[in-house]
């Protein structure tokens, strides 16, 4: 299903005149980020669609079977660091990475947080998960788990 723009959703919302139609709107899992499983969101991204899962597994540095479970949704709640590792592996933008974190109900990257600032730099500059951990270590910050 093609994801609708926020503007189109706003247009739909203001046209709702009955509670039963509102219920249908609110029950649509593709509208609200918090209701979409992380794996579904992540695997729907164009950059991710163009990559082989085996590449994502290797590039993320996440244990193989666990990573496949994250990608196919059988492990629905990846931690923040695992999501960041997958975003780094897929070479997502900072905006896409923050959205992935938000969909998973994790804290987005925060510019006033030293560790997050380093991670943001790494995402922005296309560094790998391994290179990100080296930089985090260099600045005495906790590495990605």
Question: Residue 100 in contact with residue 88, Cβ under 8 Å?
Answer: no
73-103 pLDDT, tens per residue?
Answer: 999 889 999 999 999 999 999 999 999 999 8
Listed in sequence order, the residues at least 6 apart from 89 whose beta carbon sits closer than 8 Å to its beta carbon are: 55, 56, 59, 60, 61, 128, 129
Query: Tens digits of per-residue pLDDT, 9-40?
Result: 888 899 999 898 888 888 776 676 556 789 99
Domain ranges of the chain: 36-138
pLDDT at site 32: 67
Helix 80-90 × helix 53-60 angle, to 10°: 120
**Choice between 21 and 66, residue whose per-residue pLDDT is larger:** 66
Residue 115, pLDDT above cutoff 90: yes
The CB density around residue 10, as the number of other CB atoms within 10 Å, is 11
| Percent of the chain with pLDDT strictly greater than 90 | 70
Give residue 1's pLDDT.
45
pLDDT of 51 over the 50 cut? yes
């Amino acid at each position: 299903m093609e994801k609708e723009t926020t503007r189109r959703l706003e247009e739909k919302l203001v046209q709702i005149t009955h509670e039963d139609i509102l219920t249908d709107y609110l029950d649509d899992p593709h509208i609200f980020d918090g209701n979409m499983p992380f794996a579904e969101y992540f695997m729907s991204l164009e950059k991710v669609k163009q990559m082989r899962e085996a590449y994502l597994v290797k590039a993320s540095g996440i244990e193989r079977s666990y990573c496949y479970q994250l990608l196919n949704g059988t492990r629905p709640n990846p931690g923040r660091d695992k999501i960041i590792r997958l975003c780094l592996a897929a070479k997502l933008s900072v905006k896409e990475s923050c959205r992935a974190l938000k969909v998973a109900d994790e804290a987005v990257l925060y510019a006033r947080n030293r560790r997050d600032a380093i991670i943001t730099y790494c995402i922005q500059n296309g560094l790998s998960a391994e290179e990100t951990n080296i930089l985090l270590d260099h600045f005495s910050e906790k590495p990605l788990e």
